[in-house]
Structure 1
Amino acid sequence: MELRVTIGDITKLETDAIVVNLFEGVKHPGGATGAVDQALDSAITNLIEDGEITGKKGTTTLIHTLGKLPAKRVIVAGLGKSDTFTINIAREVAAGTARQLRRLKIKQAATIVHGAGIGNIEAEAAAEALAEGTLLGLYTFNQHKTGKDADPDKLTELLVVEQDAEKKPAIKSGVNNGRILAEATSLARDMANQPANKMTPTIMAEHAHQVAKDYGLEFSVLEKVDCEKLGMGAFLGVAQGSNEPPKFIICKYHGDPTNPENNLGLIGKSVTFDSGGISIKPAADMGKMKADMSGGASVIGAMKAIAQLKPKINVTMIAAATENMPSGTATRPGDILKSMSGKTIEVENTDAEGRLTLGDAITYARQELGLRRLVDIATLTGAMGIALGNVRAGVFSNNQALADQVIAAGEAVGERMWQMPLDEDYKEQNKSTVADLKNTGGRAAGSITAAHFVGEFAGDTPWVHLDIAGVYMADKDQGVWVKGASGIPVRSLVKLAQNLAQG
């Protein structure tokens, strides 16, 4: 869809529909909404008096102009109460309104920027939220459909209208940034929505390579033989049951090349299909494990945006991609693996595989690349979804300052998180009688013991672990989320890199 910024009076535009907004409790609209109301002979005011337009968050009201305006229709979007209005609500309103336009089979529309006036949000930030919300809300995944379902009705153009010409540069910049962030998130969604036969480790590496080529990133892949030479026994222990070759994918963005220590490592769990291995999962819902590489997809998407937004920081992405499959060559429960760090691991359950791949990825990031701040992202534990549901991702960390920065980045972009405990007591559950560690601490506090396992490999390097198992998929359309892969936490990672670059 094309997003264009234009200076002018929205009441003068000839288009299929125009979108204005209203706060809850307002009886006499002002600004652009007031101008439209006046042109419609107070139709909006009258509908407010009748209780049909309330301004409540998420509501939309359709008004046919019947020739009183060049535009055929007006949609009034509710912003909710002004004292609780935030930029995240602006995103949600843009997403919901965009879907309403699509349901009405509208091809071209125009909108004002939600929150840039009485909402007290700066024009650039409000425009960014508008673009993000619109594009994320309209996301569809139809690559494998045929016939009419392959090409649903589309909103092809949205004009962003502003009367004040001095604001145009800021609004254009915001729209462009919002488009970059939405497209990066959509890439992650596309990858996670693909079935496992269309998103193997090799194909995942090809996607990362394409991003690197398109945006000038340094790219490399360690093949199985390379990983063997480095002693990545944990990663390869997961991979050995599959016929698909593993790929250890690395992308680098050099945003501050004269200061190599100003760096950030983003490490995404990239199990492209997780059957559970010999400790095989139940058949019900196993198909959802095509998206067990959502962490890897999110770091690839984040790199796409970071390369375009160009923060002054060096960012490296790692995705240790493999399948976890049962076979005659698969790792068995009770086997002992030796990780790249030298730590030995008793495999108590082959379905606790993501932490094994992360362990070697984190060791490589520290020992081979000298990364000084690490964030790993993983659909690691079902226990995380039990603890926090599908609202917030879990945050675990050995460094409070970095944890606070990650949580703040998520809050800023509407990807909510919650910090979980990492008391030393929980480490007891990961102790093995035959190796340095075992790969599962049992059912109790499962997300915490899993995080502790991963943290063993981070050592004293500032590290944050994001368990996205509860939020990587959406079960319905709501706000910027659409049913299927969510793309969380692409935008949080980009915002984190931007914030760290600013010091």
Structure 2
Amino acid sequence: MVELRAATAVDDAEALGADVDHESPTALRVAAGELARRLSDEHCRVDARGLDGARLTAFAEGLALGCYRFTRASTPPPGPRVIELCGADDEAALAAGVRNAAAACWARDLANTRSNEKTPAWLAARAAEGLTPLGVDVVERDEHWLAEQGFGGMLAVGGGSAAPPRLIEASWRPRGAAAQPHIVLVGKGITFDSGGLNLKRGTGMSTMYTDMSGGAAVLGAVHAVAAARLPVRVTALVPAAQNSMSGTAYRPSDVVRHYGGRTSEIGNTDAEGRLVLADAMAWAVRRLRPSVLVDVATLTGAAKMALGTRTGALFATSDDLAAALVAAGTQAGEPLWRLPLPEDYRSTLDSPIADATNSAGPPGAITAAMFLQPFAGDVPWAHLDIAGPARADEDAGFLNRGATAFAARLLNEYVQGAIAVAAAAAP
């Protein structure tokens, strides 16, 4: 835990270097994360003179994120570290950095929690616990409701687990938001992924407690939006399920009927994320009437192979939406790279018995995105495949080993940009 405070005195403050005024927000965020790990005292002071606006926000984010630690050790955790930012006169920018980092750290906690504790119901309870005090309405829908509504993808994926699936809906709808767009964020919530009957290898399974990082990211984004009291309607949907093996697990060759009626042939039970996302996206389009739909998921190893561990893959049906998300990622230090949705690969999704197969490919990241596309209907839609940057193997910059909460701050930046665009377009 870390507490950042503004302070006026600068005597004996830790020096940042003579070139601080020329650093970009991204560089400042990285430098602050490294600095945080070198500050050994529980109460220390840092010289922040010359920083304001986006640069001070980024620096505060980096300090707080660099201090992040997650542990379940039996020894008592250390008390909160207090860092005074001397000369940080832009209190609004500092407060924004603290809010953004708090939301991301909360999302990291959700993703880092191990799956013997983290069931779909646990995730729903933590969402309510973290968001309700901010004024967010959190609704948990159980397996009986899912069956009544026809969420075949979620029920299939979660059917092999003793911990049944949940659909988590977190709605931020402040007064005065009617004139703004309704942004719906859908995050993959697989609380553990064994691969199902198409079992993963042990080394590939060990990090699967973070396979709900997309869900953590969209909940974190709503946390940041609500904490800032942004005047826009934002809804996060997290289809949460545990992909397990048992006598009730779904099988290769099964045909699943999603919410809304579209069907999928199961070619691989380890391609489960797109099945739960499909249900939630179809629900969002039909029931929530979004102005824009963005889904976030640790979906394919192919995206990680293509772009590595620092850049997320972006697919979009709208050039404006893609450009806004790329800009938001640049601002947040969470870069995206847009990949195409070429019609040449559409036929690889063909199934002789269903509307599509869930295991088309290669190219795996592209065909996975194309599997999801019909569930967005005519709504402007973007898909973020964060399989690479959702996890870090070591401490570096403002990242810490484990879950990174990639896309939580990015989506918060996107929402703020969408408010500005809507305001500019208003008569």
Equivalent residue in structure 2 for 1:19, among 15, 18, 21: 15
Give the letter for the 1:452 counterpart.
M
Q: 2:48 aligns with which of 113, 127, 131?
A: 113
Task: Report if the CA contact (8 A) 2:315-2:340 is conserved.
Answer: yes
Aligned partners of 2:178, 2:43: CA distance in 1, in Å?
47
Counterpart in 2 of 1:471?
A: 389
What secondary structure is seen at the aligned counterpart in 1 of 2:59? helix
1:162-219 CA deviation, whole Å, 9 max, x = no partner?
A: 2xxxx73xx2211111111111101111111111011110110001111232111112
- The answer to whether structure 1 residue 352 and structure 2 residue 282 are counterparts is no
The C-alpha deviation readout for 1:327-379, integer Å capped at 9, x for no partner, is: 11111100001111211110010100000000000001010111120110000
CA distance in 2, matches of 1:155, 1:111: 16
Q: Which residue of 2 aligns with 1:98?
A: 36
Corresponding residue for residue 146 of structure 1: 74
Which of structures 1 and 2 has the bigger CA Rg? 1
Question: Equivalences for 1:387-402 in 2 at 5 Å?
Answer: 387-402=306-321
2: CA distance, partners of 1:473 / 1:200: 20
| Secondary structure class of the residue paired with 2:139 | strand
Q: Which letter maps to 1:186?
A: C
The answer to whether the aligner puts 1:284 opposite 2:203 as a matched pair is: yes
Secondary structure, counterpart of 2:240 in structure 1: strand
Instruction: Check the 8 A contact 2:271/2:359 in 1, yes or no.
Output: yes
Q: Distance in 1 between matches of 2:329 and 2:302?
A: 21
* Partner residue of 2:409 out of 457, 480, 491: 491
Code of the residue aligned with 1:350 in structure 2: it is: T
Secondary structure of the 1:21 match is coil
Aligned counterpart, 2:170: 251
Q: Is the 8 A contact 1:426 1:449 kept in 2?
A: yes
CA distance in 2 between partners of 1:98 and 1:493 (Å): 25
Confirm whether residue 438 of structure 1 aligns to residue 357 of structure 2.
Answer: yes
Tell me, yes or no, if the aligned pair for 1:101 and 1:155 is still in contact at 8 Å. no
**How far is the alpha carbon of 1:244 from its aligned partner?**
0.4
Question: For 1:304 and 1:500, how far apart are their aligned partners in 2?
Answer: 17
Aligned pair in 2 of structure 1 residues 429, 301: CA closer, same or farther (>3 Å)?
A: same
For 1:361, give the aligned amino acid: A
2:143 matches 1:191: no
Paired residue secondary structure (2:145): helix
228, 232, 237: which one pairs with 1:313? 232
SS at match of 1:259: helix
Indicate the SS of the match to 1:319. strand
- In structure 2, distance between residues paired with 1:156 and 1:194: 22
2:366 corresponding residue in structure 1: 448
Give the direction of change, closer, same or farther, for the CA distance of 1:446–1:6 in structure 2 (3 Å limit): same
Q: Is the 8 A contact 1:256 1:314 kept in 2?
A: no
- In the superposition, relative to structure 1, how do residues 258 and 286 fare at CA in structure 2: closer, same or farther (>3 Å)? closer
- Alignment of 1:365 with 2:361, yes or no, is no
Task: Point out where structure 2 has 5 or more consecutive residues left out of the alignment.
Answer: 422-427
In 1: Cα distance, 2:179 partner to 2:188 partner: 25
Counterpart residue number, 1:135 = 64
**Unaligned stretches of 5+ in structure 1?**
24-78, 117-122
Instruction: Give yes or no for contact 1:264–1:372 (8 Å, CA) kept in 2.
Output: yes
User: Deviation at 1:155?
Assistant: 7.3
Which residue identity is paired with 2:347? E
Q: Distance in 2 between matches of 1:234 and 1:223?
A: 14
Instruction: Flag the 1:333–1:114 CA change in 2: closer, same or farther, 3 A.
Output: farther
Q: Corresponding residue for 1:72?
A: none
Contact 1:261 1:371 in 2 (8 A): no
The answer to whether the 8 A contact 1:398-1:460 is kept is: no
Are 1:156 and 2:84 counterparts? no
1:127 deviates by 2.1
- Whether the 8 Å CA contact 1:255–1:315 is kept in 2: the answer is no
CA separation in 2, counterparts of 1:423 and 1:285?
30
1:424-471: per-residue Cα shift (whole Å, max 9, x none)?
A: 1111111101111100113x2000000000112012210000000011
Q: Is the 8 A contact 1:115 1:126 kept in 2?
A: no
**Which secondary structure does the structure 2 equivalent of 1:345 belong to?**
strand
Report the CA distance shift for 1:157/1:367 in structure 2 as closer, same or farther (over 3 A).
same
Q: CA 1:448/1:209 → structure 2, altered by over 3 Å: closer, same or farther?
A: same
Equivalents in 2 of 1:343, 1:5: separation in Å? 54
Match in the other structure for 1:418: 337
Q: CA deviation at 1:304?
A: 1.1
Match of 2:398 among 464, 480, 493: 480
Alpha-carbon distance in structure 2 between the residues aligned to 1:3 and 1:344:
51
Shift of 1:114: 6.5
Q: Aligned-pair RMSD on alpha carbons?
A: 1.7
TM-score (norm 2): 0.95
Aligned with 2:28: secondary structure?
Answer: helix
> Structure 1 residue 318: deviation in Å?
0.2
Match of 2:202, SS state, is coil
From the superposition, tell whether residues 114 and 322 of structure 1 become closer, same or farther in structure 2 (CA, over 3 Å): farther
CA contact (8 A) 2:294 2:381 kept: yes
Q: TM-score, with normalisation over the residues of structure 1?
A: 0.81
